[in-house]
Structures are given as structure tokens and as C-alpha cells.
């Protein structure tokens, strides 16, 4: 399978590295980036072919993976408009509707829209995917395998749910970083050394996430198991509940989803 990456930034680099680690041949991967330094870095790191623009040779692929910024997508796709036939197009551009991509490609609709998150940079990402009805089962499998090279994948029944995916997992790492930041600051306020507070906070979040991921039990059950009546954990959770922590999280997710819809409308114009 020949894959051309339109854009050679961090996420494209992570995908290329993940694919090669999974056994894909570097010779079958091509990275397109206008900046020589980016092309040289990718060629040196992974041994992939590179190009400075979306040439006909770059379009001689099975999969065209769109990894440029959403604001740059229309201009970046201009050389490919009307030139695609059987290629599968995979977009990792946040917020950009498939309808806009299809229009800018001259009506090509064999598109899978995806939303990976930044832990993909270390092979621990998760990606929501939605495929146009014209995409075959085999092509869906190919898309899942490509994005699965950097983490887990989840198919969506409706493209409109992509905004919810963005709110939960796309933006989600920032929420976790924010929570860790608060735990570190709180630990320091209680007298811990900064390096100790950082270690305790990070290892606690990492360990708890691993425990939840490896358990068949609901997070609520795991929470209850470590919450003794009248104990320290109960006191902390009561402070969260007094400020309606779950409602705050739900409000934050709703705000992210709403902004995602707005951005989609803005980005898809033209």
C-alpha cells in the first residue's frame, strides 16, 4: 500500500514512525512538505521518500493522508482537484467537514475523516473515525490500520459526532494536563517539594489510568473501592461534589463541542 502524506508535521511524523514500526515499507511512504528542513528530517529519520509539492507522482498512491492545518487545506488540495479516482483520502485535520474536503477535491468522496489526539506522538493515542458511504469495508480496514499504528481507534455512525470526539479525546489531553497541574500546585501548597509533587501527581494519574483501562469494572466502582466512609478520599471527593465537579466537566465538554461545530462551519466555507 502506497501512502502519501500531505504535510510533514508532528502527527504525520508519528504516523510514519508507527507504520514503519508495524512493518510498512519506508519506500511505500511519501511525505509532502514545502519546507526542505522538514523533508530532510523525515528522510533522515525514517528513510521515506519526500516531495516539495503535491505532484502527479505524489498522487500515484493508494492513500492520500491529509495532515496540513485546516486553514491551509483548501490551498494545499488545489493541485489534486479533479485528479483523484480510486485513492482513499484520510483527513486528520481537526474540525474540517468532509463536504468541504470533497468539494476542494473536485467531488472526490472516498474520504475518511479522523480525529487523533496528541498522545499519538508516543504511540498512545486514540482516534475517532467516520467514513463516507462510498468507502469500502476494505478501505475502512486500511484507515483503521493506519491510525491504529499510533493507538486505539473508534468508528462513529455519524460525522456530527466528530465534534463530541474532539471535545472528549481531541482536547482531552489538555484537561488531564490541567488536572495534573492543579495537583502539583496543591501538593506544593501542602508543603511538598515541587519535584516530589510532580512525581506523585504524574505517577498517580498514570497508574490510575492504567488500572481503569485494565479493569472490567466501571470507574465509579473503582472510585468507591478506594473511598472509605469518613476517610481522606471521601473528604476530597466531597469538596469536588460541593462545587459540582461533574457538571463543570460536562459544561466544558459542551463548550468544546459547540466551538468545534462553529469552527467546522468557518473552516468549510469557500
The answer, yes or no, to whether residue 64 has pLDDT greater than 80, is: yes
What pLDDT does residue 84 have?
94
What is the per-residue pLDDT across 65-121, written as a single tens digit (0 to 9) for each?
999 999 999 999 999 999 999 999 999 999 999 999 999 999 999 999 999 999 999
- Structurally, the chain folds into a number of domains equal to 2
The residue range of the domain holding 217 is 172-262
Q: What is the mean pLDDT of residues 245-266?
A: 95
Alpha carbon 229 to its chain's center: 39
Residues 134 and 237 in one domain: no
The answer, yes or no, to whether residue 268 has pLDDT greater than 90, is: no
Q: What is the mean pLDDT of residues 253-268?
A: 92
The answer, yes or no, to whether residue 261 has pLDDT greater than 80, is: yes
Residues 10 and 104 in one domain: yes
What is the per-residue pLDDT across 204-229, written as a single tens digit (0 to 9) for each?
999 999 999 999 999 999 999 999 99
CATH number at residue 186: 1.10.3730.10
Residues 142 and 187 in one domain: no
What pLDDT does residue 233 have?
97
Residues 33 and 95 in one domain: yes
Q: Is residue 269 part of a domain?
A: no
What is the per-residue pLDDT across 163-192, written as a single tens digit (0 to 9) for each?
999 999 999 999 999 999 999 999 999 999
Q: Tell me the C-alpha distance between 83 and 266, whole Å.
A: 26
- At residue 267 the predicted structure's pLDDT band, cuts being 50, 70 and 90, is confident
Q: Is residue 268 part of a domain?
A: no
| CA dihedral over 145, 148, 150, 155, signed as positive or negative | positive
The answer, yes or no, to whether residue 270 has pLDDT greater than 80, is: no
Select from 121, 141, 162 the last residue of a domain: 162
Amino acid at each position: 500500500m502506497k501512502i502519501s502524506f500531505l504535510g510533514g508535521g508532528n502527527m504525520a511524523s508519528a504516523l510514519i514512525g508507527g507504520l514503519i514500526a508495524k512493518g510498512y515499507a519506508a519506500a511505500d511512504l511519501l511525505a509532502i512538505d514545502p519546507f526542505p528542513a522538514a523533508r530532510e528530517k523525515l528522510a533522515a529519520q525514517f528513510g521515506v521518500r519526500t516531495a516539495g509539492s503535491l505532484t502527479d507522482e505524489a498522487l500515484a498512491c493508494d492513500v492520500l493522508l491529509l495532515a496540513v492545518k485546516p486553514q491551509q487545506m483548501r490551498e494545499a488540495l488545489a493541485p489534486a482537484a479533479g485528479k483523484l479516482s480510486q485513492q482513499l483520502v484520510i483527513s486528520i485535520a481537526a474540525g474540517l467537514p468532509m463536504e468541504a474536503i470533497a468539494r476542494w477535491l473536485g467531488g472526490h468522496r472516498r474520504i475518511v475523516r479522523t480525529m487523533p489526539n496528541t498522545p499519538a506522538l508516543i504511540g498512545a493515542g486514540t482516534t475517532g473515525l467516520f467514513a463516507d458511504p462510498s468507502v469500502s469495508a476494505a478501505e475502512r480496514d486500511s484507515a483503521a490500520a493506519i491510525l491504529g499504528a499510533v493507538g486505539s481507534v473508534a468508528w462513529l455512525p455519524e460525522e456530527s459526532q466528530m465534534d463530541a470526539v474532539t471535545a472528549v479525546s481531541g482536547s482531552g489531553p489538555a484537561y488531564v494536563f490541567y488536572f495534573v497541574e492543579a495537583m502539583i500546585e496543591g501538593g506544593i501548597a501542602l508543603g511538598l517539594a515541587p519535584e516530589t509533587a510532580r512525581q506523585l501527581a504524574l505517577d498517580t494519574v498514570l497508574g490510575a489510568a492504567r488500572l481503569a483501562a485494565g479493569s472490567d469494572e466501571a470507574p465509579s466502582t473503582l472510585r468507591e473501592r478506594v473511598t472509605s466512609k469518613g476517610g481522606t478520599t471521601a473528604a476530597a471527593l466531597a469538596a469536588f461534589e460541593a462545587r459540582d465537579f461533574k457538571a463543570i466537566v460536562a459544561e466544558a465538554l459542551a463548550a468544546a463541542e459547540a466551538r468545534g461545530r462553529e469552527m467546522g462551519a468557518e473552516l468549510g466555507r469557500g
